[in-house]
Structure 1
């Protein structure tokens, strides 16, 4: 007869990849990837949603359990006129190997009508994820939470004691970027490109990739400054273009200020600036970017650039302009900062990749492209001669 499942203490000590864990009204934990003081300075609903989606966040513990159950309350998104999104995926990793996957149905639902700009919230109930058939030996277990669903952790049960996983002593890689780093359109949380690169390089990932939120916000820079890390990278550009947020006059000084702030807390840490991957709609056409509502008739969401290429003469940003200015800023700073590096994002995904693995919505890589980007990042950045080779 199998032993009964016993509740485990659901404490922040079990979490990796989160900067804070908020206690909820039902006594659960809500992981956050920005600290409370930074969230208080934010007024953007998109960033509020993105930072609460636990990309790169996982429960990590050591146990002999053969059965593990996790109760969660997910918040799912639905878009009017677009086919339903699949439930978020949880990845079970045991002793470094992906062993199983699962989902939690139900939960809250936020329905977005992009043609009207409205949001509707439908409350839901928690669900249960169950992994069984595990061997009874001592093992290191990680449950990676869905990268694209806000996830409140409600309860944890197992048929053997659960202890927080000890620090393995691996270098911590702190990364900040946009929805591509967040994992948009990746197959699962361990298949987002930063997770793939971290696994290949043997480093501990702390992912501050925020869908729609890589905007050179000062509170994000201060968060990066104050977060202990052995390696730091920032991927800058696409959100500034598709939100049409600033002009060239403001962009260069803003990048300098962002890097200055990071360097206050990490004066000699290897610091990598990554420019945008190829995105043809915004290479020479400024933002804003917006959903192409005509594509909804086919049940597929695509994006289009609404700017005028002629406006580049007036300081509007395109991806070509962004790359040129980032190269200038990094070259200027690197003369006195030998651990500052630049990677052209087109080395990760360029024209040949777009021809083979086009962006399905004209903005985000698919699962196969995430894998390619992750493999190339690991090779070019963590490999011989790379910015993080001496980790």
Structure 2
């Protein structure tokens, strides 16, 4: 006669499972997740790290964490049935007040002889390219000295993301991943050397996908604090996903408690990989500009009979808006730059105002285009900015 005496098992920390995922080889926008046989999530980047071992963890279905889309339901069923395959899905991406469409490819397959399935999610415009060492990047000491000279000359600062591959003395020090970082450093510094001093732009910045950011005049820069980890920065996310130049209002509190307003305009630098004909995002570049320049653009764009009708602020309300209806410039003194227009005005006609388009002849866009061209000048034609 048989009798069940008990069960035997082994607890395996989720962190141990995640440790075998080569995150250092993926872009920060690429992620993975795993499912149990009933579609529940084993791990997912949207779930906070579980630390309380005395309580059962919260269980989520993958449909609760991924965008609402019939294709996601299909992928879930395929993973439960232990199938392998790939599926391209158009999903919305939300970042604060901004929403973008993003095309992702879901690659899924079962995990060995287990009952679990694994999925790798890759945005359409992300491409991993191997970068071979150059004569310059092989000699890290000379490159470090070159970096110090350039940064000192241009009054620029180098910010390094708090990622494993950026850590000095880590196990990745001699790997191809760190070679990417040195390549980023070499190429971006060549662009930084083109920076020149002028009154229009108080601070320029270049933020690479590899985790390096260069900021001019860091002490007076409002974007420098957020660029230390670019993939958590809303401005960087907007620049990297937008199809056009991005204008964003930034409000910063000074030591005396007063609010000081600056505006940032940015654009992404793109490169087409000739072998695969894929577009790769190399970096986000931009320049910080004072609000009065955008105000002047608004007045210039509304000139009628040699005079801007926005001058008549007693009868006309003028606003320069970004794609989320946040105010970049206005002829009204009571409107806060960077605020949502709907929170300032209840009038539906005001909320329905069309945004002005910045023309290519305007010095703002010319400034960014020039910076983009200078940066692109130093990009090799076969691709390769770090996208781990």
TM-score by length of 2: 0.26
Larger radius of gyration: 2
